[in-house]
């Protein structure tokens, strides 16, 4: 295992962050606002309040109760130390202004609610590089929002079930800008909402995807992959391949193109690695394994860290 800055969480792992030579690990429903501030945002309490605490000591220093107006909070992201974005049972994505000093919350004010989903918001992702906010919902859609203007951009439709995990590729040129997961299905999309590829990630008994992440080496690097973590404890690594497909054309198109068929390229997701912890290969191999709840790739892409529902973190060396 890796060396960490503090003991591992007692519950499911929610976030793993590489900071210099340290790895910071937070439990589910906790979000590090900024390593420099040493502060986390926490939610998921019975009264639907939220609090702020010191990461090193683990002690709460502020409680904010007005979040309960928006029902149960299920997810949150932090694009910068002054902004927290939440989503949950109200179906509304809430953008909050936050002012923090050392172990003190000066204020937390709602900047803008974002309306668009018609069911519970289950997951959020944000990218300051692309200036977008992405939300996934039980209404089987994702919505892209402009992070600066805080308005609707487009909607990703066609998921077969509730969206459980999403990720944004930070590379400015890539083979897929957005990954979304619904059940065992993995989708790749462009920023314009066009689906590039889709595949069923389950091998044997169906297992829902709980987290997804992009590797981000260099622009156009063929070694870039998508990593998924599932409820059955499996971690799978996917690459994309282009396949040439021949499509029949109409008689008018035959005259203009001189051929009864036209060739096009389709993108496919291909399984290239499956990571396990020494269990024999069988349909029952993951029966007693805890779900994978968090993924993180080091900046050098030399290490993949995987957190599970038992609060453990495993590390793999990437070639």
In a domain, 160, yes or no: yes
CB 231 within 8 A of CB 208: yes
In a domain, 259, yes or no: no
* Cβ neighbours of residue 135 closer than 8 Å, sequence gap 6 or more: 87, 93, 114, 116, 117, 121, 123, 124, 142, 143, 145, 166
In a domain, 249, yes or no: no
**Alpha-carbon span 140 to 142, nearest angstrom:** 7
Q: Exposed (0-12), middle (13-18) or buried (19+): which is 125, by Cβ within 10 Å? A: buried
The string of pLDDT tens digits covering residues 116-165 is: 999 999 999 999 889 999 999 999 999 999 999 999 999 999 999 999 99
Question: What is the reported pLDDT for 252?
Answer: 56
Task: Tell me which residue of 92, 95, 87 sits closest to 124, measured CA to CA.
Answer: 87
**Alpha-carbon span 78 to 108, nearest angstrom:** 13
In a domain, 260, yes or no: no
In a domain, 262, yes or no: no
Run of H or E residues at 228:
strand 226-230
In a domain, 165, yes or no: yes
Question: What is the reported pLDDT for 224?
Answer: 78
In a domain, 264, yes or no: no
> Which CATH number covers residue 82?
2.130.10.10
Backbone phi and psi for residue 256, each to the nearest 5 degrees, phi listed first:
-80, -30
- Token couple for 136: 């996934």
* Cβ neighbours of residue 193 closer than 8 Å, sequence gap 6 or more: 144, 154, 155, 156, 157
Containing structural domain, residue 101: 13-239+270-317
Task: Tell me which residue of 98, 86, 94, 48 sits closest to 68, measured CA to CA.
Answer: 48
In a domain, 248, yes or no: no
Q: Exposed (0-12), middle (13-18) or buried (19+): which is 199, by Cβ within 10 Å? A: middle
Question: What is the reported pLDDT for 227?
Answer: 94
The string of pLDDT tens digits covering residues 10-56 is: 789 999 998 877 889 999 999 998 777 789 999 999 999 999 999 88
> Is a pLDDT exceeding 60 seen at residue 285?
no
Question: What is the reported pLDDT for 265?
Answer: 66
Please report which confidence band the pLDDT of residue 281 belongs to, taking 50, 70 and 90 as the band edges: very low
pTM across the whole model: 0.87
Q: How many domains does the chain have?
A: 1
């Amino acid at each position: 295992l890796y060396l960490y800055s503090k003991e591992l969480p007692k519950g499911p792992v929610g976030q793993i962050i590489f900071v210099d030579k340290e790895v910071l690990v937070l439990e589910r429903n906790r979000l590090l606002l900024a390593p420099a501030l040493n502060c986390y945002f926490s939610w998921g309490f019975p009264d639907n309040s939220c609090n702020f605490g010191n990461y090193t000591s683990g002690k709460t220093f502020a409680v904010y109760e007005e979040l309960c107006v928006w029902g149960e909070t299920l997810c949150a992201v932090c694009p910068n130390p002054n902004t927290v974005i939440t989503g949950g049972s109200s179906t509304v994505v809430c953008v909050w202004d936050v002012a923090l000093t050392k172990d003190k919350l000066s204020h937390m004010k709602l900047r803008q609610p974002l309306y668009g989903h018609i069911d519970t918001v289950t997951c959020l992702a944000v990218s300051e590089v692309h200036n977008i906010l992405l939300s996934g919902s039980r209404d089987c859609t994702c919505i892209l929002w402009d992070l600066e203007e805080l308005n609707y951009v487009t909607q990703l439709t066609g998921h077969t079930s509730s969206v459980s995990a999403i990720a944004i590729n930070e590379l400015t040129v890539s083979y897929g800008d957005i990954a979304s997961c619904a059940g065992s299905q993995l989708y790749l999309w462009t920023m314009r909402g066009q689906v590039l590829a889709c595949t069923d990630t389950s091998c044997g008994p169906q297992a829902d995807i709980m987290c997804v992440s992009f590797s981000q080496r260099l622009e156009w690097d063929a070694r870039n992959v998508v990593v998924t973590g599932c409820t059955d404890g499996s971690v799978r690594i996917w690459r994309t391949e282009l396949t040439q497909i021949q499509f029949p054309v109409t008689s008018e198109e035959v005259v203009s193109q001189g051929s009864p068929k036209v060739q096009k390229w389709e993108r496919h997701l291909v399984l290239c690695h499956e990571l396990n912890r020494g269990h024999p290969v069988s349909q029952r191999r993951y029966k007693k394994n805890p779900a994978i709840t968090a993924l993180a790739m080091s900046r050098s892409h030399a290490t993949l860290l995987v957190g599970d529902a038992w609060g453990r973190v495993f590390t793999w060396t990437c070639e």
